[in-house]
Amino acid sequence: MTVRSPLTAAFRALYSVRNAAAKPVYWWYERRLRRKVRVGGKLPQHLGLILDGNRRFARATGVQRDVGHSFGADKAHEVLQWCLELGIPAVTIWVLSTDNASRDPEEIAHILKLLEREALNLSTDPRIHANRVRVRAIGQHGGFPAHVLNALKELEEATASYDGMLLNIAVGYGGREEIVDAVKVYLEHQAVAGATLQQAAEALGPDDISARTYTAGTPEVDFIIRTSGEIRMSGFMLWQSVYSEFYFCDVYWPGFRWVDFLRALRDFQGRKRRFGK
């Protein structure tokens, strides 16, 4: 059973009431957009989501910071359902960056508590098992508490054999750190094979890095959405986003709506991808 805090549930109800007047208009618009997206062309094969704006959402709506993070975690569940409905094969969501480690320890502790809760929920979520979603946690997790690591391990093991959507949860993640880790693994393999440093350097090519990234074996991300109005990547999937299309949405992550998602996908479908040609 999915666990939600009473405070988050109460805020969700309040937030829904605030937006009730616009619901009939959005219902009609969403149906129109959904129809266009379904018949409008190819959907992303690997979608990247930068979940930004939880704290600013909390400030803007007059609630505590932790409620913003909790509401953001609930929104991730909702967006997962949208991706399943549309049949997007691979999704990577960026939950916590390596740069976030410098934040207030109490805030980080709350985010990790939410991560543990969501990992446990996903491991028993009927949608995950019915749709055979494989879930992986990617990033550097060495400093995480044991109970969080255990929850992530349980989730990965529960879905390891599945062949449906691939869901990467990027937590403790940084794009530079990922590339450094990939190079380290490459050099270790070369050393085991008896190669000198010079030989390893001469042999190194892009495919050697790609094969050792956290997302190795997954199609390179072709569409990345960032919420909150920030127009930057902040190190998200630096290696995999060489030919990605980008979409920056002004809404804060907890307020990200189905209609916002459909607008982004419609925009993606209208682009002509050239891959440097």
Q: What is the pLDDT of residues 195-218, one digit of tens each?
A: 999 999 999 999 999 999 999 999
Residue 274's pLDDT band, with cuts at 50, 70 and 90, is: confident
Examine residue 254 and state whether it is found in any structural domain, yes or no. yes
Unique residue bearing structure tokens 């929104």? 75
Quote the pLDDT of residue 3. Answer: 47
Q: What confidence tens digit (pLDDT) does each residue in 82-128 have?
A: 999 999 999 999 999 999 888 899 999 999 999 999 999 999 999 99
- Ranges of beta strands (E only) in 13-156 are 46-50, 90-97, 134-138
In a domain, 272, yes or no: no
Residue 47 structural domain = 43-174+219-266
Q: Is residue 181 part of a domain?
A: no
Q: How far is Cα 132 from Cα 162, in angstroms, rounded to an integer?
A: 5
Question: How many separate domains does the chain show?
Answer: 1
b/e for 180-190, b at 16 or more Cβ within 10 A?
ebbeebbbeeb
Q: What's the rounded Cα separation, in Å, for the pair 192 and 186?
A: 10
Nearest Cα residue to 248 out of 272, 264, 235: 264
pLDDT of residue 20 exceeding 70? no
Which residues have a catalytic role annotated?
A: 52, 100
Average pLDDT over residues 10-24: 57
Percent of the chain with pLDDT over 90: 81
* 3-state secondary structure (DSSP) of residue 93: strand
Say whether 91 sits in a helix, a strand or coil: strand
The structure's pTM equals 0.88
Residue 32 lies in a domain: no
What CATH number does residue 118 fall under? Answer: 3.40.1180.10
Task: With respect to residue 24, please indicate whether it lies within any of the assigned structural domains.
Answer: no
The answer to whether position 69 is within a domain reads yes
pLDDT digit string, tens, across residues 60-77: 999 999 999 999 999 999
Between CA 118 and CA 71 the distance in angstroms is 12
pLDDT value, residue 1: 38
Q: Which two tokens stand for residue 132?
A: 């055979």
**Is residue 194 situated within a structural domain?**
no
Question: Predicted confidence band at 43 (pLDDT cuts at 50, 70, 90)?
Answer: very high
Residue 151 lies in a domain: yes
